Chain A
Amino acid sequence: MADLSKDILTLREKKAVIEKGGGEAAIEKQVAMGKLTARDRIHSILDKNSFQEYDMFMKHDGRDFGMDKKEFPADGVVTGTGTVGGAPVCIYAQDFTVAGGSLGLQHARKITKVMDLALKMKCPVIGINDSGGARIQEGVSALAGYGEIFYRNTLASGVIPQLSLILGPCAGGAVYSPALTDFVFVVEKISNMFITGPNVIKTVLGEDISMEELGGARVHAEVTGNAHFYALNEKECFEQVKRLLKFISWNNQEKPKAVKAVAPKMKNIDEIVPADPKQPYDVRDIIKCLVDDSDFLEVQELWAANIVIGFGRMDGETVGFVANQPMVLAGVLDCDSADKAARFIRYCDSFNIPIVTLEDMPGYLPGVDQEHAGVIRHGAKVLYAYSEATVPKITVILRKAYGGGYIAMNSRHLGADFMFAWPGAEIAVMGPEGAANIIFRKEIMDAENKEAMRQEKVREYIEKFANPYVAASKGFIDTVIEPKETRSNLLHALKLSVLKDEFRPAKKHGLPPF
């Protein structure tokens, strides 16, 4: 008995030393930057007392440059499992206080081990990145470590949700693990992501830019689209993580856990869209009138804001929303908004989440920059993603549905299960003015008063074609509904789709236009 308690004391001492990480001074420095320590971060996300740490006794195997004499507690990364809302997750957090969180082969192997576990147990994996980069002393072994993580990110893609929190520097090759995962979280003044830093850019290209301007949180949330959630501090970031986990499914064989149904708080759905198709409004107000409790979790809120994506619940079940946003860039599809929508559609399809599309868009954005940036290739992703998706797909045309945009936004022709349109919808090959100028060119040219004739022909076109009834007469629209009936129609359609079964030709994988 006496020996046993001595062993236990030794274990406790060993653990206590390792749990100190890089020591008091390093922790103090970490905290002064508004950052929590690796273990505190994990505890902030997981259910209380649920964290089980593994591999804390693992050691690095660096032998060169004096590394054989150096000890790195837990080799600079804390890994383990726990629960969020009672359900299991795998988690790892790089510890910047230990050798700058630098990644060597054993550090990486701790991460891949917990990733393998997540894939086997079919639960989400949460990665917290806070690292100076590769442990240079380990040479190519460090690179091997990164590669082994990327490989598993790819294998796990579409099988289990992968979340990346950037809570410190994440530079060079390290950025590619988050980039391969489903959701990236950044925090103002704490996150930094780039391939090459400001110094290299200045030396090589002469461009002078600060770290924050190059790859700070706001830049990735607003300009690059690399980040999905942006927070002002770590606490807010952890809340976002927990909120997202409540909406999504745990793996690709399950649906998200349903919660109790609640009626929307916002009810004025018929007062939001202005009758004049040229007046903007915030499409998120429409979503809030449709989802339970008016609770909508927007993804990539700041980037490509001309399209809105995110999760809400209808009758307690998670639904993914894709909606054109007339308030920003008139709600056009462009390279960025196409990328944003396509990736989200594929996420929902992978994880059994029905998609509701709210359409009000004037078409694709014209411009040399767009054409040269490859809007053809980017825009095609939306067509691909919708056509490929086999989850329930429902579209509501709120107002404008013109041209290529009409086809792209989950039209009947791409396999929509239900197509609804509001009575003010304008479904046509192009806007009335453009169309009238082409169809009635001769009449307008020959008229005495060309402008009056043009106006008359525009009116004629609007009456004849800029409405939902032409599309409805061909069965492209299932029914024209009043705004107030939208939620009940969606709920009914979702209920009907519960057992939806649709198959695609067998293939190794498709070739979406990346």
Chain B
Amino acid sequence: MSELLQATWGGVLAGSVYGLMAVGLTLIWGAVRLLNLAHGALYVAGAYAAWTVINVGLPLAVGIPAAVIAAGALGYGMHATIIRPMLGRPGWDSASIIATVGVGIALQAAILLIFGPRVKQLPAVVSGSTVISSVRISYQGLVIVLVAVVSLVALFFYLRSSRQGMAIRAISQHMDAAALMGVPVHRTYALVMIISAGLAGLAGVLLSSVLFLSPTSGFTPMIIALLVTIFGGLGSVKGTIVAAYLIGMLEASVQVYLGGAWALPALFGFIIFMLIVRPSGLFGVPEAQRL
């Protein structure tokens, strides 16, 4: 029983953070058709921004918005330097992937140069923990889940009801038609990049208060976020959020019942099986229908 509880709590915690990462990826994919392989670097950049702020002597409560702003600014920079000049050119698919890989490495290398290779850890917002039937639940974990869930719910309603959210959805459905209806395409893309990068930064600062932080620590969360995105159905925000919690649960149960080394292989095995059985993911529309 306590193992099951342990796995559930671990799954909710991991799923919240993966959700933040993966929703960013899926937003960019849905709107711009860009696979952003710099997402992991944005995660790390956000975490280091928060670390800098905290090192100056400010609390983590200031660090979190700092991380979001720093990552969002980098996202805007990516829009201005990569997406804007390249969009619509032939060979966009491959060139854009390469460009994001390049930005990701450059960003990581810059962070390594500035902060050095030593592993860091962010302090907790609130310390202490409570024990519910032999499962230790830290207050910090509760804060993470709370912040993530609030952000995801806010994003969901923002996309559903606000004017800009509707513009994002219109563009992801049909860019040309949306442009003809007067949706400012480039401004909306910039917005998508800022939101997505900001979410990555948020995930970075939240997860780095639990795990350790190093310039390369963004890689695994990015791979898992990619996995979540594909599981949920590329381009579907709702599917991604559901998938994030399912994947988080799966990872946590494998860790609890089989051991930590099996987590990643099990996830990959699961997703390969998933791709064979249902290639469009949980909530995804099959490729042919979307076109």
Answer yes or no: are A and B bound together in one complex.
no
Enumerate chain A interface residues (CB-CB to B < 8 A): none
**B contact residues vs A (CB 8 Å cutoff):** none
